[in-house]
Structure 1
Amino acid sequence: MGRFAKAAAAGAAMLLVMLAGCAGRGQDRKPVDDPVARGWEIAAEAGSSISDDERELFEEATEGLTDLDYEPVAVIATQLVSGTNRAYLCTGTVVSPGGGVGWHVMGIYEDLGGGVRLLDIKELDITQPVLSEDPADAETVGAWTVAKPGSDVLSAEVAELFEKAMAGVEGVDFKPIALLGTQIVSGTNYLVLCYGEPVAPDTRGALYLVQIHADLDGGAEVANVGLLDLLAYV
């Protein structure tokens, strides 16, 4: 296991202990920065495609928005209220010619009568994501490029690198949701939003930003693992 993978495994183990501790507490004793304490449920199947109903809700809520062209990628969390709040991971492309593209988290509310309302849109800046705790620094230079979603969660090439890197990580099973960006270094870094499920019983999953480094010889290892602060985006 490479030293980055060892660091990631150690970080995952520490997060596993934190999650296990939270799982054993009563509902009234959970920290206020815990998404579950706020009623949010992380979508374990967020890597699957958007359903027709979810896409219809998204299109209805975003009708009339003209600054960016938004495209839904996944529903990453839901919250039961008097109706349902959904947190959509989506891309936003500037409508003007030559406009750039970025990642966003969009909150959409559906009431009990089927009415839909846009709650908020927050940018998920891949160069400065909001994390619950700082991961170990990776030795990287160069600018990140936003990745455009394809028909698959990861391309065959990136999926192979992801699987190769995950072979050295224990404690949490990571399921990719979306490739957020790439960075050219001595090789390539890939930033992947993942659902992470601890292997220990009675612990719950969370959203992670996993950075994979692929070297020039075809090797791959985990460079960084960060726990995404969902409440900063919903």
Structure 2
Amino acid sequence: MFTEFCPKLRELPMVSSAITPTRTIAVLIGVAIIAVAGFAAVRSGVFEPDSLQGAIPGPGSSSPSVSASESPSTPPAPSASPSPTTPEQIRAKNIADAKARLVEYYETTAQVANNGYEDWEDELDPFWGHPDVWVPLATSYTDLAEQGQYTTGAASVEEMVVTGYQASDVGNEEVHLDACVDFREVRNFARDGESIPRSDGAPVRYRFDYVMRHQGFDSIWTVNEQVPHPEQAC
């Protein structure tokens, strides 16, 4: 991770990158529109999050309960999955891990926003891999926390399409994703509980470009680029 840009990240423990996605691409994840500021803007490749923040995650799935008349059976032990060895297998695993990490990022962002942006720094620092992402977001989260704003509802990712892949011999692979995100269920509130309406004409379903980067062997995936395209409805 780019610790020269974010000293706090040096203190974070390494997390295994073996993340297996267990949700469909249509899983409800968190990102919301703070509409008082209008659209997010991108200047010189730097993401400016004037209107993009978190939302609570969607409901998780649970296992069906076993009735008293049923005898629960012991499931067979899962067989170990072989480690990827061929370039095709490694690429497929990296893409799956990057997608899963992006879902986890949105879910964490959702929890933070739903909780009034409390502890946003501790929760979200591990996900940010480039100052073009974390610097403007940190400024925005600080302001929202001080103002006491919060969100309810959940956004949903309608699809994630791989638009690029960069291999690496030292564990610094990159996966480029095009995501369509729907924000219609998200609502924003002020400290006193008053609803903050979206700006007139603010889009509620549009595309994002993401660059997910692996930070080395036995390390984690980070969001290294986040570019909203509110002009691209999906």
TM-score (structure 2 length as normaliser): 0.32
Higher percent of residues as strand:
1
Higher percent of residues as helix:
2
Q: Which has the larger radius of gyration?
A: 2
TM-score (structure 1 length as normaliser): 0.32
